[in-house]
Amino acid sequence: MDLSQPGISKKDISRSIREDIEAREEATLHPWAVRSCHSAGRSLPEIPCPLRTCFQRDRDRILHSKAFRRLMHKTQVFISPVGDHFRTRLTHTLEVSQVSRTIARALRLNEDLTEAVALGHDLGHPPFGHNGEDILNELLGQKNGGFRHELHSVRITEHLEPMNLTVEVLEGMASQASTKKALTLEAQVVKIADRITYLHHDAEDAARAGLMSEKDLPADLRRTLGDTRQARLDRMVIDLVRETEAALESDAPAIVMSREIGEAMGALRKWMFRNVYLIPSQLAQKQKVRRVIRGLFDFYLMNPEAISPNIPEIPEDGKNLRRRAADYIAGMTDRYAIERYNRHLLPTPYEPAHDLQEDPFHV
């Protein structure tokens, strides 16, 4: 665009930047990729951003949210790790985003949509990882709809910290459950990238924690997937891209891996469950997590005034206190949940209004 042309305002120029990106998407993305200009939109219509596509805007809203920042202090595998290099939910999310974007770009899918779904995919994770999720699910009970972190991610962005995201990003986040098939290829990428990523980094963190070493991995797995964790990550990602490239030529496109690598990955996952996720020291932590979450949940049912006023009452819930307590607890970081448990459920040392011991006139 010729900026020296008279009559072209700054607004016209900036608006054309988003339109340029949309035109580039049209020209360069794979025929099966989602185009941002074809988005089904948001529940509240908005004036489009002059610079960013709708998916870029969603990505940025997620990144700037408080729920996203709290992932920094939520468990990935190890609870409130002392070491500086252990993953938390935040670094896990950033690594999923990186792997997802690499795959999306290689396949000419919509990288921005993939990135938005990846950054939002664990937003609804409660404190203490899957142990926290399981006990919240039990406490809410099926008649209250239970608790699933991927549905809670959507609930955060719709009600607790409203972001007015696009239908595609919301669907992508909700479909991260193992039993659901994502509608877009971009969200399918995130789902499999999540699995590749956690297998990759949990093995490294488990080695850092002294629970395993590289040579503990079965020889056939190392032969198929690689001898180092870097080699294994490369192998899984490259296999996925190569196999999917061919699958996208068909009428029923899907994100797929070769049988050999897919089976090895499944075997690695089983091995990780047996040797890392479900070992006695982790199961002992699980019991403690259940006690903390259950204690807090019962306390807030008895003392609803102690729930933060920042947790809104949502009209659709019909004053369901169990759901509101779960909303509050699910949003807590590991350390905040422990702090609240100590404050609400453990005796605290008596503190006099002023220090009588220091008062020379005290008898």
Judged by the rule CB under 5 A, the positions of this chain that interact with Mg ion are 122, 194
> CA gyration radius for the chain?
24
Nearer residue to Mg ion within complex by CB, 97 or 184 = 97
Nearer residue to Mg ion within complex by CB, 123 or 225 = 123
139 contacts 329 by C-beta, under 8 angstroms: no
The CB-of-58 to Mg ion minimum distance in angstroms stands at 18
The CB-of-149 to Mg ion minimum distance in angstroms stands at 9
Find residue 219's DSSP bridge partners: none
Q: Tokens at residue 188, please? A: 């399918």
Nearer residue to Mg ion within complex by CB, 122 or 239 = 122
The CB-of-271 to Mg ion minimum distance in angstroms stands at 19
The CB-of-166 to Mg ion minimum distance in angstroms stands at 21
CA dihedral 4, 6, 11, 14 (to 10 degrees): -30
49 contacts 57 by C-beta, under 8 angstroms: yes
Q: Long-range contacts made by residues 14-17, C-beta under 8 angstroms, separation at least 24?
A: 14/50, 14/51, 15/50, 17/50, 17/51
Residues 6+ apart with CB under 8 A from 27: none
Q: Tokens at residue 63, please? A: 């990144």
Nearer residue to Mg ion within complex by CB, 122 or 327 = 122
The CB-of-100 to Mg ion minimum distance in angstroms stands at 11
268 contacts 199 by C-beta, under 8 angstroms: yes
Find residue 88's DSSP bridge partners: 75
Nearer residue to Mg ion within complex by CB, 56 or 88 = 88
Nearer residue to Mg ion within complex by CB, 54 or 119 = 119
Three-state DSSP at 75 gives strand
Q: Tokens at residue 80, please? A: 């409130």
89 contacts 201 by C-beta, under 8 angstroms: no
The CB-of-122 to Mg ion minimum distance in angstroms stands at 4
Nearer residue to Mg ion within complex by CB, 25 or 58 = 58
How far is the C-alpha of 297 from the C-alpha of 274, rounded, in Å?
30
The CB-of-186 to Mg ion minimum distance in angstroms stands at 16
